[in-house]
Protein backbone atom coordinates (compact mmCIF):
# COMPACT_ATOMS: atom_id res chain seq x y z
CA UNK A 1 0.00 0.00 0.00
CA UNK A 2 1.37 3.41 -0.99
CA UNK A 3 2.03 5.86 1.82
CA UNK A 4 2.10 9.62 1.34
CA UNK A 5 3.67 12.43 3.31
CA UNK A 6 0.87 14.73 4.43
CA UNK A 7 0.92 18.05 6.29
CA UNK A 8 -1.96 19.01 8.57
CA UNK A 9 -2.58 22.53 9.86
CA UNK A 10 -4.04 22.78 13.36
CA UNK A 11 -5.75 25.83 14.84
CA UNK A 12 -7.92 26.77 17.80
CA UNK A 13 -9.09 29.96 19.50
CA UNK A 14 -11.83 28.71 21.86
CA UNK A 15 -12.00 26.65 25.05
CA UNK A 16 -8.32 26.48 26.06
CA UNK A 17 -6.81 26.55 22.56
CA UNK A 18 -3.32 25.40 23.61
CA UNK A 19 -4.76 22.21 25.10
CA UNK A 20 -7.08 21.72 22.10
CA UNK A 21 -4.07 21.76 19.75
CA UNK A 22 -1.88 19.60 22.00
CA UNK A 23 -4.64 16.99 22.35
CA UNK A 24 -5.31 17.00 18.60
CA UNK A 25 -1.59 16.38 17.96
CA UNK A 26 -1.78 13.38 20.30
CA UNK A 27 -4.87 12.12 18.46
CA UNK A 28 -3.19 12.45 15.06
CA UNK A 29 -0.56 9.98 16.29
CA UNK A 30 -3.29 7.33 16.57
CA UNK A 31 -4.92 7.66 13.16
CA UNK A 32 -5.21 4.29 11.40
CA UNK A 33 -2.63 3.44 8.73
CA UNK A 34 -0.73 6.59 9.70
CA UNK A 35 2.38 7.65 11.58
CA UNK A 36 2.99 11.06 13.12
CA UNK A 37 6.44 11.93 11.74
CA UNK A 38 6.99 15.45 13.05
CA UNK A 39 5.22 18.40 14.58
CA UNK A 40 6.03 22.09 14.70
CA UNK A 41 6.23 24.32 17.71
CA UNK A 42 2.98 25.92 18.78
CA UNK A 43 2.41 29.47 17.53
CA UNK A 44 0.02 32.29 18.37
CA UNK A 45 -1.46 34.61 15.73
CA UNK A 46 -4.14 37.23 15.27
CA UNK A 47 -7.49 36.08 13.94
CA UNK A 48 -8.36 36.76 10.29
CA UNK A 49 -11.61 38.39 11.52
CA UNK A 50 -11.81 41.37 13.86
CA UNK A 51 -13.13 40.81 17.35
CA UNK A 52 -12.03 37.17 17.71
CA UNK A 53 -9.50 35.82 20.21
CA UNK A 54 -6.01 35.05 18.96
CA UNK A 55 -5.40 31.62 17.44
CA UNK A 56 -3.07 28.89 18.53
CA UNK A 57 -1.58 27.08 15.52
CA UNK A 58 0.76 24.21 14.64
CA UNK A 59 1.54 21.94 11.70
CA UNK A 60 1.95 18.16 11.82
CA UNK A 61 3.59 15.86 9.30
CA UNK A 62 2.05 12.42 8.85
CA UNK A 63 2.94 9.45 6.73
CA UNK A 64 -0.35 7.81 5.78
CA UNK A 65 -1.92 5.16 3.60
CA UNK A 66 -5.35 6.79 4.02
CA UNK A 67 -6.90 8.34 0.92
CA UNK A 68 -7.33 12.13 1.07
CA UNK A 69 -11.09 11.78 1.61
CA UNK A 70 -10.69 9.14 4.31
CA UNK A 71 -8.08 11.30 6.06
CA UNK A 72 -10.48 14.24 5.88
CA UNK A 73 -13.23 12.10 7.46
CA UNK A 74 -10.90 11.21 10.36
CA UNK A 75 -9.86 14.84 10.83
CA UNK A 76 -13.48 15.98 10.90
CA UNK A 77 -14.29 13.31 13.51
CA UNK A 78 -11.46 14.68 15.68
CA UNK A 79 -12.78 18.24 15.19
CA UNK A 80 -16.30 17.12 16.12
CA UNK A 81 -15.04 15.34 19.25
CA UNK A 82 -13.57 18.70 20.30
CA UNK A 83 -16.96 20.40 19.94
CA UNK A 84 -16.32 21.99 16.53
CA UNK A 85 -19.30 23.93 15.19
CA UNK A 86 -19.34 25.20 11.61
CA UNK A 87 -21.30 28.45 11.86
CA UNK A 88 -19.31 30.94 9.77
CA UNK A 89 -16.36 30.80 7.42
CA UNK A 90 -13.18 31.66 9.32
CA UNK A 91 -15.25 31.91 12.52
CA UNK A 92 -13.98 31.15 16.01
CA UNK A 93 -13.56 27.45 16.65
CA UNK A 94 -12.50 24.90 19.22
CA UNK A 95 -10.43 23.04 16.64
CA UNK A 96 -9.64 23.30 12.95
CA UNK A 97 -7.68 20.58 11.13
CA UNK A 98 -6.80 21.28 7.49
CA UNK A 99 -5.00 19.07 5.01
CA UNK A 100 -2.39 21.51 3.74
CA UNK A 101 -0.52 19.08 1.49
CA UNK A 102 -1.09 15.47 0.49
CA UNK A 103 2.13 14.29 -1.14
CA UNK A 104 2.49 16.16 -4.42
CA UNK A 105 -1.17 15.75 -5.29
CA UNK A 106 -3.35 18.63 -6.40
CA UNK A 107 -6.94 18.02 -5.35
CA UNK A 108 -9.95 20.18 -6.09
CA UNK A 109 -13.28 18.62 -5.12
CA UNK A 110 -16.40 19.89 -3.37
CA UNK A 111 -14.95 18.67 -0.07
CA UNK A 112 -11.25 19.25 -0.41
CA UNK A 113 -8.73 21.63 -1.99
CA UNK A 114 -5.07 20.64 -1.71
CA UNK A 115 -2.74 22.44 -1.54
CA UNK A 116 -4.85 24.61 0.71
CA UNK A 117 -6.18 27.55 -1.33
CA UNK A 118 -5.02 30.25 1.12
CA UNK A 119 -1.66 28.69 1.94
CA UNK A 120 0.52 31.48 0.54
CA UNK A 121 -1.32 34.16 2.56
CA UNK A 122 -1.14 32.52 5.97
CA UNK A 123 1.96 32.92 8.09
CA UNK A 124 0.30 30.77 10.76
CA UNK A 125 0.55 27.87 8.30
CA UNK A 126 3.77 28.73 6.42
CA UNK A 127 6.01 29.46 9.42
CA UNK A 128 5.21 26.21 11.30
CA UNK A 129 5.37 24.30 8.00
CA UNK A 130 8.79 25.80 7.22
CA UNK A 131 9.97 24.84 10.71
CA UNK A 132 9.45 21.13 9.99
CA UNK A 133 9.95 21.14 6.18
CA UNK A 134 12.19 24.09 5.25
CA UNK A 135 13.12 22.81 1.78
CA UNK A 136 9.61 21.90 0.76
CA UNK A 137 8.40 22.84 -2.70
CA UNK A 138 4.65 23.21 -2.81
CA UNK A 139 2.63 22.30 -5.92
CA UNK A 140 1.16 25.43 -7.60
CA UNK A 141 3.07 27.70 -5.19
CA UNK A 142 6.78 26.89 -5.44
CA UNK A 143 9.61 27.02 -2.92
CA UNK A 144 8.99 27.62 0.76
CA UNK A 145 11.61 30.40 0.90
CA UNK A 146 9.79 32.44 -1.78
CA UNK A 147 6.45 32.03 -0.07
CA UNK A 148 7.85 33.18 3.27
CA UNK A 149 9.29 36.36 1.72
CA UNK A 150 5.86 37.52 0.53
CA UNK A 151 3.66 36.34 3.41
CA UNK A 152 1.97 38.84 5.78
CA UNK A 153 3.04 38.39 9.43
CA UNK A 154 -0.42 38.31 11.09
CA UNK A 155 1.40 39.09 14.35
CA UNK A 156 2.62 35.49 14.51
CA UNK A 157 4.95 34.47 17.31
CA UNK A 158 6.15 31.20 18.79
CA UNK A 159 4.10 30.24 21.84
CA UNK A 160 5.65 26.90 22.90
Instruction: Give the catalytic positions in this structure.
Output: 84, 93, 96, 98
Report the distance separating Cα 139 and Cα 115, nearest Å. Answer: 7
The distance from CA 45 to its chain's CA centroid, rounded to whole angstroms, is: 14
Q: Which residues does 46 contact at the CB level (< 8 Å), separation at least 6? A: 54, 55, 154, 155
Integer Cα distance of 70 and 66 in angstroms: 6
Report yes or no: 37 and 61 within 8 Å, Cβ to Cβ: yes
Please tell me the distance from the alpha carbon of residue 40 to that of residue 27, in angstroms, as a whole number.
Answer: 15
Amino acid sequence: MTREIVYIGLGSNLENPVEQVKEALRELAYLPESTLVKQSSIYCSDSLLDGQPQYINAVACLETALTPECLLDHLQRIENSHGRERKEKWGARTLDLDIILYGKKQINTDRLTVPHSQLALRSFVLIPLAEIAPRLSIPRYGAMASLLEDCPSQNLHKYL
